[in-house]
């Protein structure tokens, strides 16, 4: 997997101060995407053990609330396979940090309730490490700059632990 950028101290992509990883590779190609260069799976730099160590070091600061994954598309199957070992290490080393993920896929597509090219052998485990999922493709016609943490009104901000406990989608409202 490649990545396009790391923002060490980001306040736009989740609650608090976050470290954000912009992965490369996306097959959605949303109209007026804010980062179309990340559609290319070869864009940027390789995600290596050194990259993981850099991220864990950044995330270890007390003032960093957690990690945000976006892109590109973190839930493209190849990206999931590359990110999962890192998420395991993150949870083991820094269990108090939250993980936000942005995906053009809906939760239903990721869980298999609706067929999707994103669902693969590691999707369920990857979702188990995510606290908040912002789901759904960006839709230019539904763009709304007043929305918090999302670009268009079709996108949902889902509290995944509450969703798992309730057995139904629970929107994040903190």
Q: What is the mean pLDDT of residues 31-56?
A: 91
- pLDDT at 75 > cutoff 90: yes
**Predicted confidence (pLDDT) per residue in 113-133, tens digit:** 999 999 999 999 999 999 999
Q: Which of 51, 134, 43 is nearest to 85 (CA)?
A: 51
pTM given for the model: 0.95
Beta-ladder partners of 157 = 134
pLDDT of residue 164: 96
Instruction: Give the pair of three-digit tokens for residue 173.
Output: 């409202």
Confidence of residue 174 (pLDDT cuts 50, 70, 90): confident
Q: What is the mean pLDDT of residues 5-27?
A: 95
Q: Sheet of 98-103: strands edge to edge?
A: 45-46, 2-10, 18-23, 66-71, 98-103, 132-135, 156-159
Q: What is the mean pLDDT of residues 51-74?
A: 97
How far is it, in rounded angstroms, from Cα 99 to Cα 50? 20
Distances (CA, A) of 167 to 31, 41, 161, 162, 163: 33, 34, 10, 8, 6
- pLDDT at 147 > cutoff 80: yes
Confidence of residue 37 (pLDDT cuts 50, 70, 90): confident
């Amino acid at each position: 997997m490649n990545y396009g950028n790391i923002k060490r101290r980001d306040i736009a992509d989740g609650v608090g101060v976050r470290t954000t990883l912009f992965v490369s590779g996306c097959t959605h190609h949303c109209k007026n995407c804010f980062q179309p260069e990340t559609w290319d799976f070869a864009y940027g730099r390789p995600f290596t053990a050194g990259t993981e160590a850099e991220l864990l070091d950044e995330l270890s600061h007390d003032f960093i609330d957690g990690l945000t994954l976006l892109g590109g598309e973190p839930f493209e199957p190849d990206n999931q396979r590359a990110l999962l070992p890192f998420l395991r290490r993150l949870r083991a080393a820094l269990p108090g940090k939250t993980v936000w993920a942005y995906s053009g896929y809906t939760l239903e597509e990721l869980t298999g309730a609706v067929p999707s090219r994103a669902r693969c052998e590691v999707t369920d485990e990857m979702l188990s490490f995510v606290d908040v999922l912002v789901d759904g493709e960006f839709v230019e016609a539904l763009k709304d700059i007043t929305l918090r943490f999302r670009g268009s009104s079709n996108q949902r901000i889902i509290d995944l632990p509450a969703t798992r406990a309730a057995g139904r989608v629970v929107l994040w409202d903190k």
